[in-house]
Structure 1
Amino acid sequence: MSDDEIITRSDATGASLVPSSGRNPIEGWRVVLYYAFGMLAIATIGEVDDWTGPHLSLSLFYLVPISALAWRVGRTAGLSASVVAATAWYLADVADRVYPNGFYALWNGGVRLGVFLVVTVLLANLREALERERQLAALDPLTALPNRRAFFEAAQERLKSVRKQKLPIAIAFLDIDGFKGVNDHQGHASGDELLKEVAHSLRRVTRTRDLVARLGGDEFVVLLTEADAEVTDALIRRMDEALIEGARRGGWPVSFSIGRVVFDEVPADIDAMVHAADAQMYGLKRQRAALRSQPD
């Protein structure tokens, strides 16, 4: 496979690479199931409400399926359930109670609809706020890449998927040679800009299926899924070229050490992969140092 065949990533922040938890909004057939059970619950409550008559209020019970849909499926589902629940309550109410004025029934129905909608909006807003906090907690604040914890969680899930499909997988571990000198001589602000440039370069040249993260300090890692030795080597070349070009543009006197390991059989856990790539990177550093120390 040539370098031109490698699909580059278009995302700007890397936020989409953050691992999802089981509490994320659900998709696909599960949405249909939640809708079906939610609407069935509302219809059942409406029937019971009609059967018990005006002497027993069941308004609070409507909030259970409404809240479940708003929390698990999303705002739109909660709003839809609110309208259906308010309609069910209204039909049960007018069937069992004679109002001196039809406006009273509409008013009561409108008030209950308002309550249902307010609960839905509050729950949806809370859900979205919690999800934003979860996303932010999983990102490195400087580079907007997934942090160490987020990487290990997401990578472990990727390993399960790759193992089932029996696909090759590779990992690249890199650090910045001369990073301490940048901090010492150009200041920490310049060092931070260098780290952001590295993150940007890695995101730009890797594929959307790859997982890029900052482990801490000047250490970065890239998990390359569906990557054999040929694809991995092509990606490593792209990374190296992009990193060197970014450092040259920024005026940073640094180089990069990249250790990479390709696995035909997926290891049991991501720690073994990171350790192997880390060891290879430091092996390359030692070889380079040995060559520099040899007399001309």
Structure 2
Amino acid sequence: MKKLEKILSINTLARRVIILLMILIWGWIDIATGYEYSFAVFYLIPVSIAAWFDNKRVTIFTIIAAGITWLYADFVSGHHYSNIIIPYWNAVVRLGFFSVVAFLVMKVRENLAAMTLMAMKDSLTLLNNARAFGLQYHELRLYKNKSGYKIAIALIDLDGFKAVNDQYGHSKGDDILVEFAEILKSVARPDDVVARLGGDEFVMILKDIHQKSAEIFEQKLRTAFLTSTLKQRYGVDFSMGIRIFEQLPENLDVATHQADQLMYQSKAQGKSQTVICMA
């Protein structure tokens, strides 16, 4: 069942072929069994698949195709009506029925997607939260075993943040966290992952990286941070530890702990530093 769901969600051509075949099969069975047997509920299967996995145009096409197939099966099976208008009226009602079901399925899908997004995002900065970061780490670890390139875990902690909260209040501290999150997103490459672990602690996954490119990333982040004037306005800075892995540890905590140790080394060297190390 999971394999079929994966095909329906990923393979567009296969999904649409399956939808069309389902409609044709139900139509054929509908004709073979005659008009006394109702197959309305079975036509809802391809309609629901289209509404859940595909776009609105495909869903509308599926609704119309199912309605026409049902109407054709009704005529071919020899169903006679007292008035010529009746079968067409029934067809319109069926289209309405399919449309209502498709609309409800799409709304459920949209609401589920929104709830999933909320569960995976940090409510303050809108970065990935710890849960989302963990899922992406384990997915990347499985993929990385095939790719072979190096990956770095960068752990970042703001320096002087507690003093800001004490002096300006937590509201201003939240503003700084949001602004710093935007800085991290601005320097991240499209394939990099940025997350907030909690408090003033952030983490990044830097893909396809080595010692030199990690140094370039660090310089780019420092430049963007200074340009933001956060340091000039509030006296905050950041310390960072970057651990570059040939092979990602199976346990996420092991990877983040190693980066965390490097980050604390940078703090021990006087803060506002970065320590980069190969695993």
Same fold (TM over 0.5): yes
Q: Aligned residue for 1:272?
A: 254
> How much has 1:102 moved relative to structure 2?
2.5
SS in 1 for 2:204: strand
Counterpart of 1:103 in structure 2 is 85
For the residue of structure 2 that corresponds to 1:259, the secondary structure is strand
Q: Name the residue aligned to 1:185.
A: 167
Which residue pairs with 1:51 in the alignment? Answer: 32
Higher relative contact order (CA 8 A, sep 6+): 1
Q: Which residue of 2 aligns with 1:26?
A: 9
Residue identity opposite 1:67 in structure 2: S
- What letter is aligned with 2:140? R
* Residue pairs, 1:112-151, within 5 angstroms: 112-151=94-133
Counterpart in 2 of 1:160? 142
Where does residue 93 of structure 1 map in the other structure? 74
- 1:10 aligns with none
How has the CA–CA distance of structure 1 residues 224 and 25 changed in structure 2, closer, same or farther, with 3 Å as cutoff?
Answer: farther
**In 2, distance between residues paired with 1:24 and 1:128?**
20
Structure 1: which 5+ runs fail to align? 1-21, 290-296
Alignment identity in percent? 35
Give CA-to-partner distance per residue, 1:40-91, whole Å, 9 cap, x none. 1211111111122221211112112221232233444332221111011000
Amino acid at match of 1:118: V
The amino acid across from 1:26 in the alignment is: S
Q: Which runs of 4+ in 1 moved over 6 A?
A: 22-25
Q: Is residue 23–residue 46 contact of structure 2 (8 Å, CA) maintained in 1? A: yes
Work out whether 1:221 is the aligned partner of 2:203. yes
Deviation at 1:25, TM superposition (A): 8.0
Change (3 A) 1:250 1:97: farther
SS at match of 1:235: helix
Give the aligned CA root-mean-square deviation in angstroms: 2.0
Counting matched residue pairs gives 266
Query: Counterpart of 2:34 in 1: which secondary structure?
Result: helix
**Residues of 2 paired with 1:283 and 1:91: CA distance?**
75
Hey, what's the Cα distance between the residues in 2 that align with 1:122 and 1:76?
16
Q: How far apart are residue 249 of structure 1 and its match?
A: 7.0
Residue 263 of structure 1: aligned partner = 245
Instruction: Give, in angstroms, the shift of residue 39 of structure 1.
Output: 1.5
Q: Residue deviations 1:144-181, cap 9 Å, x none?
A: 10001111111211122222110011111111111111
Q: Which residue does the alignment assign to 1:68?
A: 49
The alignment partner of 2:259 has SS state of helix
Q: Is the CA contact 2:7–2:15 (under 8 Å) kept in the aligned structure 1? A: no
Q: C-alpha separation between the residues in 2 aligned to 1:175 and 1:221?
A: 9
Which stretch has the larger CA shift, 78-87 or 218-227? 78-87
Letter paired with 1:164? K
Matches of 1:150 and 1:208, distance apart in 2: 17
Conserved? CA contact 1:46–1:88, under 8 Å: yes
Distance 1:247 1:269 in 2: 37
1:208 paired residue number: 190
2-structure distance, mates of 1:225, 1:271: 18
Identify the residue that residue 223 of structure 2 maps to in structure 1.
Answer: 241
Contact 1:24/1:131 (<8 A) preserved:
no
Deviations 1:233-265 (A, max 9, x none): 111111122223324377111121011111233
Partner Cα separation in structure 2 for residue 120 and residue 214 of structure 1: 37
1:109-139 superposed Cα distances (whole Å, 9 cap, x missing partner) = 1110110111011101111110111011100
Q: Distance in 1 between matches of 2:26 and 2:8?
A: 25
Residue of structure 1 aligned with 2:153, choices 165, 171, 176 = 171
Whether contact under 8 Å (2:241, 2:262) holds in the other structure is: yes
CA distance in 2, matches of 1:152, 1:247: 32
